[in-house]
Structure 1
Amino acid sequence: MRTAQNAYFAESPRQVPSSGKVGPPMLIVIAPADGRVVDTVPADTPDQVRDAVERLRDNSVLWRSLGVVGRVHWLNMLRNWLLDNHDGLVLLLGLETGKSETEAETEFALTIDALDHYRANAADFLGGKLPQAPMRPGAIMQLTIAQQASAVVGVIGPWTYPLALTMIDALPALVAGAAVIVKPSSQTPLTLRAVTAGWASLGAPAVFESVAGHDAGPAILDRVDYIRFTGSMETGKVVALRAAARLIPCCLDLGGKSAAVVLADADLGKTAASIALGGLANSGQNPNGIERVYVENAVYDAFVDKLVDEAAAFGPTLGEETGFAVMTSAKHIEFVRDQVRDALLKGATLRCGGAAVGHSFEPTVLADADPTMSVLTQQTLGPILPVVRVADAGEAFELALRTPAGPCISVWTADAAVGARAIGRFAPARVGVNDVSIHLAHPAPY
């Protein structure tokens, strides 16, 4: 394991100046684990974002001229910097998100895995396309597909996985020859800020910058040539409309309520263990995590008993870690508590958990859940597994498709034909058959 070389990680937490002088607005980053101030970050104004985008636009010309080999060289340099600063980055990520060492380490590994993927495949991804056959008999024209990078790509990232999910979007844009401006969540801006500072410290072309603050997101939307957003469906609608108004392309990776469907012939032990992992890891703060479970009546009671056993035993991975994972904000703990309270008032049965413990929330299983409860209609991003009893597979599939549909659906069955049909029925969601989904694939060692 390598140690941090960047002086950023040696800084002690800074307080907001109290001199009384008027200065730029500041973001105060709070450690969810204990409530102390980790750092303060200047919030960028719309004018500062505009200047940053125009600077990146100018610099993108040189960046594109380097070609794939030249750009991959700088990605190799970034990879080395990330590994040299591994300990500091993992520590900083854990501080600002509240993630355990295991969870922060996993997110770092996902980032390296994504970097390796694009380094290894950049030339193939960007290779020219062969001319296509004429589109109609007798046509004298042929179609050739060419690729042209946008000058500046904006990436607006989430607080759930502020390093990995933002870098997974930024890296392909850099490989393609675009300059990138990233705007991490105002709750968790520090790790991405450190990474873009690391890029600058390498002497790399100035095509990768970060901005922060509540005004920075709209300002990015008003300036960039392409937008990549990860977050809630509500904010995603605003992003899409704003991009449409400028006629620029956008790609949205939105949350929702990913579902699991448990059929009567499923292996209940394996299914319960897997669904517990898919819904409770990182305190449920995973935009792809399972947030609702539909179970056929014939095995409902037996499955819930097994799920309760798994949830009650769910805990840290490393021996030296104790207690439940910390949630990223106290406000969100209250939101999760309200969902549980609403479910119980409307007839749900609390089978385990249900309470906040300090800065954490207990892994919770709610039986007898129904669609009138907010825990089934609003994204939770917490360690809550509501379980709905259904008559058969048809009812389960119908309910799983209802809004707010999530990005992932898993189907648990011993019938391969049923699983195959489910993949087509639930498209374009990512569908896992007897597996939570592809988003839980373990990253390769770095």
Structure 2
Amino acid sequence: MTDTQEKRHTQGTAAADAEATDGTTGARNPVAAPPAGARTAADVVTADLVARLTRGVAGSGTTSSHCPFTGEKLADLPESTPEDVAAAFDRAREAQRTWAATPVGRRAAVLLRFHDLVLKRQDEVLDLIQLETGKTRLHAHEEVQAVTVAARHYGRKAGAYLRPKRHTGAIPTLTKVTELRHPRGVVGQIAPWNYPFELSVGDALPAFVAGNAVVMKPDTETALTALWARELLIEAGLPEAVWQIVIGEGPVVGPAVVERGDYVSFTGSTKTGRGVAQQAAARLVGCSLELGGKNAMLVLADADLDKAAAGAVRGAFSSAGQLCISIERLYVDESVADAFLERFVARTKAMRLGSALAYGADMGSLVSKQQLETVNRHVQQAVAKGAKVLAGGRPRPDVGPLFHEPTILDGVDSPMAVCTEETFGPVVSVYRFKDEDEAVELANATPYGLNSSVWSRNGRRARDVAARLRTGTVNVNEGYAAAYGSVQAPMGGMGDSGLGRRHGSEGIFKFTEPQTVAHQRLLPMAPSFGMDDGQYAAFMSRSLKALKALRFR
């Protein structure tokens, strides 16, 4: 994922003032017409809204956020200093003690009320997500789905996850063992810009229900979405001081958050993630890191090519490719490659670009000048080195300053940056393979291991291939949403794609400290009944043999 701590949203780019010089010809992607009476940024981000959402956010300075659709300023926001971060942690620690003492059932009820409020008022947050990220409304709704599914899951299952658990002790019946789960304290969370609802509150929900407080640094450009989520969660019953938000430059505020957290949750670039891990390790605190990806999709010879082409559009171009689990490498069996590409290229060229706060567009804007420049660099360098543009390949300043067409590249090879570097934009490279062994080898030929996708009419065959891929999640006949949306199962990366998991038991246990309480009854773990050391050792040896024979674990 692109570095969430270092990017600043600088509007306007010379590269967007002209089409990419890649020799692309043909019709441009169509533009979705906004509906009559569509809302604008001025209608949504009012002075009253900003004042309400930023109430209580510490900051001795001022910073601003901007709208990718137009380049205009959205809001002035309080900018925190390291001293403000320290004060936020002090407030959170004081509040966390009372929150941790609250019964888990009452904490879980807050999540279930939040679930209902999000669905009831989703249009408010959909507007904010679109205005802050530039994505389409349908792609923004993916965040609503992800957050409400997580809220429901942990709202229903937190009691079972966190209740004391009995274990067989050292001496069965004589040793009573109970595993307890305690909150870590105050979690430091650094959230990125690309999914500002899901990767802020969505990641914080299990921390809250486990009894922790959170000090969060969202990306400045998407802070309004996180602030809206905080307001709604407080309305659902979360004590206000339990969730502190600090806003500011990543290199300034980020390390201050990591420096004080009892646990650190980070989503961002692999480069910055390594620094976060080192800083946390120096303090002997745990961390979870979801980092970059160069995700592969495998289309096997027996795949339904129409469904695979539609899935490739979703997998590669959702949120303009600005999600860490999007598809950037597309491997197709050579026997069906031409037929698949005919379908995929046609669907890609038909995608409608748009910026309206309404459903209807297929793809929105990139978020920043930096993102657009990366996409242009990868495409133009690939073409200069011999790659062919099958669709897209051009910026679209006629739609907005940061729009770029969804792009398919063929003939990409290792000297090209797009082959190995994460683009994090609407660009996918196509490759052909001869058999499944070659496809698996190619897909695994990367230090990243976040997500992958396999397409086949034969489910068993596809699952067998999936098990050979070195990625934390694999989707069969879907690009990314099936695995990510299955919140009872863990989601995260292998290799350079990170540490730890979100979702399921691992997604809540990481925010707890396990404690074993062993109560020894009747007999001590030492010689007794007049046995000397040798007799005790012989007795224990016979007992150990018997326990194995009786299949005790």
Distance, in Å, in 1 between the alignment partners of 2:413 and 2:173 is 59
Structure 1 residue 34 corresponds to structure 2 residue 82: no
Q: CA deviation at 1:406?
A: 3.9
Unaligned runs of 5+ in 2: 1-42, 51-58, 488-553
1:122 aligns with 2:158: yes
2:318 maps to which of 260, 281, 306: 281
Q: Which residue number in structure 2 is paired with residue 321 of structure 1?
A: 360
CA contact (8 A) 1:232 1:256 kept: no
One-letter amino acid of the structure 1 residue matched with residue 64 of structure 2: I
1:100 to 108, 114, 136: 136
Counterpart contact for 2:201–2:229, Cα < 8 Å:
no
Once residues 305 and 237 of structure 2 are traced to their aligned partners in structure 1, the CA distance between those partners, rounded to angstroms, is 54
Q: Which AA in structure 1 matches 2:444?
A: L
Asked if structure 2 preserves the Cα contact closer than 8 Å seen for 1:160 and 1:285, the reply is yes
Q: CA RMSD in A?
A: 2.8
| Aligned-partner SS, 1:53 | helix
Which of the numbers 91, 96, 109 marks the counterpart of 1:60?
Answer: 96
Equivalents in 1 of 2:417, 2:177: separation in Å? 51
Distance in 1 of aligned mates of 2:72 and 2:86: 33
- Aligned amino acid, residue 98 of structure 1: G
Amino acid in the other structure paired with 1:234: K
Compared CA separation, residues 434 and 353, structure 1 to 2 (3 A): same
Match of 1:112, SS state, is helix
1:167 aligns with 2:218: no
Q: Which residue of 2 aligns with 1:434?
A: 477
How far residue 110 of structure 1 moved from its aligned partner, in angstroms, is 2.4
TM superposition score normalised by structure 1: 0.88
Q: How many Å separate the matches in 2 of 1:367 and 1:267?
A: 21
State whether structure 2 residue 461 is matched by structure 1 residue 403: no
Aligned residues: 427
Q: Work out the CA distance in 2 between the residues paired with 1:79 and 1:268.
A: 37
Residues 84, 28 of structure 1: alpha-carbon distance in 2 compared, 3 angstrom cutoff: same
Deviation, 1:59, is: 1.1
CA distance 1:430–1:440, change in 2 (3 Å): closer
Equivalent position of 1:212 in the other structure = 247
- SS of 1:180 mapped into structure 2: strand
For 1:381, the equivalent position in structure 2 comes to 424
Tell me, yes or no, if the aligned pair for 2:295 and 2:326 is still in contact at 8 Å. yes
Q: CA deviation at 1:419?
A: 2.3
* Alpha-carbon contact 2:436-2:465 (below 8 Å) kept: no
- CA distance in structure 2 between the partners assigned to 1:294 and 1:323 by the alignment: 24
Query: So what's the TM-score if we normalise by structure 2?
Result: 0.72
Q: For the residues of structure 2 that align with 1:349 and 1:336, how far apart are their CA atoms?
A: 15
Give the SS at the match of 2:124.
helix
1:43-442 equivalent positions in 2, closer than 5 A: 43-79=79-115, 81-83=117-119, 85-132=121-168, 134=170, 141=175, 143-200=177-234, 204-205=238-239, 206-214=241-249, 215-315=252-352, 321-322=360-361, 324-358=363-397, 359-437=402-480, 438-439=482-483, 441=485
Measure, in 2, the Cα distance between the counterparts of 1:249 and 1:293.
35
Aligned to 2:537: none
Distance 1:280 1:395 in 2: 26
> What percent identity do the matched residue pairs reach?
35
Task: Write the mapping of 1:16-35 to structure 2, written as runs, cut at 5 A.
Answer: 24-35=60-71
Equivalent position of 2:515 in the other structure: none
State the 1:76 CA deviation: 4.2
Distance 1:142 1:346, change over 3 A: farther
Question: Could you give the per-residue CA deviations for residues 229-270 of structure 1, whole angstroms, max 9, x where no partner exists?
Answer: 111211111111111111111111122111111222222222
**1:46–1:216 contact (8 Å) kept in structure 2:** yes
CA distance in 1, matches of 2:128, 2:460: 46
Aligned partners of 1:288 and 1:406 also within 8 Å: no
Alpha carbons 2:136, 2:363 under 8 Å: kept: no
Separation in 1, partners of 2:120, 2:377: 43
Alignment-mate amino acid for residue 80 of structure 2: D
Distance across 2 between alignment mates of 1:440 and 1:316: 26
